[in-house]
Structure 1
């Protein structure tokens, strides 16, 4: 990274502004908050700051020369755009883009030598900086590819969990649960009949919850807490990271260069994910987010093994009388708890 770009990034660090986001060409524009970060632009829901999409900063393109400025996440943006009127944000994007352009080498007689050096760098990176390659791939993978990888991950999980429980009323109840917990139906909560001892999350905002957790409760509070906690783990670590670490560095390079993983790259991924120990979540983060979502912590904590429960969290229950806003009505809970039996 050039000194000029470093200076630009420091100048505009933590900048944010409102914008109008269109997810694809046929979608309606919606209000978002645009966050300027070191490697990316984050477009988030203004109601709860929940990220909706990440754009790789080097790939961002301006599509017009008027105000509001219209930006796209790259060449293959499929109609996804964001409109920005904030002068400081427009200046930040222009400055960083200019720094990137000035640092980009011009083609010339040393092209072959440079390509050879790049190939050598890639080979060395495969051995010495795999984390950097995986991080870069996560930053630049487009939403359509992330969606496709999420579908592939779910198909792989079925080998361990069996087909997701699919009773129609139960599936409708999972949508109600996702909207209640996350404030967005874009999250997908999936109940699976076997193979898991704890919830896991997949790319494309998918959370898998074992049926035993649902069927063993007399209210939806514990299930809501389990989903919310797994959503927090999603925020702590992008689910593409363990997927790409499992696939390996060469498969990641294949994804980076072609947009697709090689055949067999996900073999064994489901077993590894099911057996992995869930990431710890800081107690203060749990309490804050459960309070914001109006979900009690105690019902969920009681589903955890005694060795993993935190007494301080049990004692700090924000809603000792239960959820102040119902998770769902009784009929929906009956449908959810019977999702695998219908």
Structure 2
């Protein structure tokens, strides 16, 4: 540390006392690099004080009294007429004080940093962690219960399920032809509000009546069921519900076993008005291959031109062979009458 550039060697007379019991001695005080040198009148050094460790006993008063930091018994007194030296020492002390670490400020910054980290965790990590935990611990029975509650909420738009006796039997055969492998094989045909197939927690799949009444072969509705099952594997229906409902609903599900009526009502509306999450063509083709259903009828039902579903048509696992029928002709006709015409 170079003292003050405008002075090559600043000196001033002063009174120095080595200890409280010692007499004051006339001395010459000079500022050098990082030190304050105290010499007797014959220029013999008596003491060297570190400027960064210099303290003032009476700030703002004259004569100015200084001492080494931590040793107030050794003092240096500068008279009222030594303005240059006093000003220089004060400037040096101010410069040193600015460079010193500020524990209070550091603690404040660390505390604010900790708060920001906790807030970030709460905002970004906690919701996902709680949701994933809820999805992993909720049993199948509870999932099915939530699915039925969602279905009930949706009936304000969809109406009650279609239930013509012959159609119900055919629908059961269709479900048996396309087993989920997880026990959630319930298929429900609704009159309105659903244009494709919607998967609910617990494995229930809602089917729009148009999938059955507007197509000539059961492979189309079978394709939509397969797509719904593969979507449920890729995007857990309960996880989607909790992502939509938020952290409070996830906590409520974990603590009470129910996400809340308002959460179910809002998500039911979202299911009926929002497009389902996409499923890759590769995953869909795996489903058609595993359930032994042709992919081409489903593809053309999605896009009559075939342009946007060309990979499904070209890679149809049964393009050159016919798998066992999805339903017999009689069962297909009975299923088409499930909503009573």
Taking structure 1 as the reference length, what is the TM-score of the superposition?
Answer: 0.60
Higher gyration radius (CA): 2
Number of residues of Structure 1 aligned to a counterpart in Structure 2? 222
Structure 2 CA distance for partners of 1:186 and 1:258, relative to 1, 3 Å: closer
Indicate yes or no: 2:183 matched with 1:160.
no
Structure 1 residue 308 displacement after superposition: 7.9
Structure 1 segments unaligned to the other structure (5+ residues): 1-120
Alignment check: 8 A CA contact 1:296 1:322 kept: no
Structure 2 CA distance for partners of 1:231 and 1:250, relative to 1, 3 Å: same
- CA distance in 1 between counterparts of 2:278 and 2:239 reads 16
Alignment check: 8 A CA contact 1:157 1:270 kept: yes
User: 206-215 or 255-264: which moved more?
Assistant: 255-264
- CA distance in 1 between counterparts of 2:211 and 2:334 reads 15
Could you tell me which residue of structure 1 aligns to residue 218 of structure 2? 220
Indicate yes or no: 2:219 matched with 1:238.
no
- CA distance in 2 between counterparts of 1:308 and 1:239 reads 30
Could you tell me which residue of structure 1 aligns to residue 45 of structure 2? none
The secondary structure found in structure 2 opposite 1:303 is: helix
* 1:204-219 aligned within 5 A: 204-219=202-217
Could you tell me which residue of structure 2 aligns to residue 175 of structure 1? 172
Could you tell me which residue of structure 1 aligns to residue 295 of structure 2? 297
Q: Among residues 194, 197, 201, which one is paired with 1:203 in the alignment?
A: 201
Alignment check: 8 A CA contact 2:199 2:232 kept: yes
The secondary structure found in structure 2 opposite 1:302 is: helix
* 1:1-342 aligned within 5 A: 125=122, 128-182=125-179, 186-305=184-303, 309-320=308-319, 323-341=322-340
Structure 1 residue 289 displacement after superposition: 2.2
1:269-289 per-position Cα deviation (integer Å, ceiling 9, x unaligned): 222112222222222222222
Alignment check: 8 A CA contact 1:199 1:209 kept: yes
Alignment check: 8 A CA contact 1:221 1:323 kept: no
1:310-335 per-position Cα deviation (integer Å, ceiling 9, x unaligned): 21221122223674201111221111
Taking structure 2 as the reference length, what is the TM-score of the superposition?
Answer: 0.60
1:189-210 per-position Cα deviation (integer Å, ceiling 9, x unaligned): 1111111222110011111111
1:65-86 per-position Cα deviation (integer Å, ceiling 9, x unaligned): xxxxxxxxxxxxxxxxxxxxxx
Alignment check: 8 A CA contact 1:220 1:327 kept: yes
Structure 1 residue 149 displacement after superposition: 0.6
- CA distance in 1 between counterparts of 2:129 and 2:307 reads 32
- CA distance in 2 between counterparts of 1:166 and 1:322 reads 34
Structure 2 CA distance for partners of 1:341 and 1:122, relative to 1, 3 Å: farther
- CA distance in 2 between counterparts of 1:127 and 1:289 reads 34
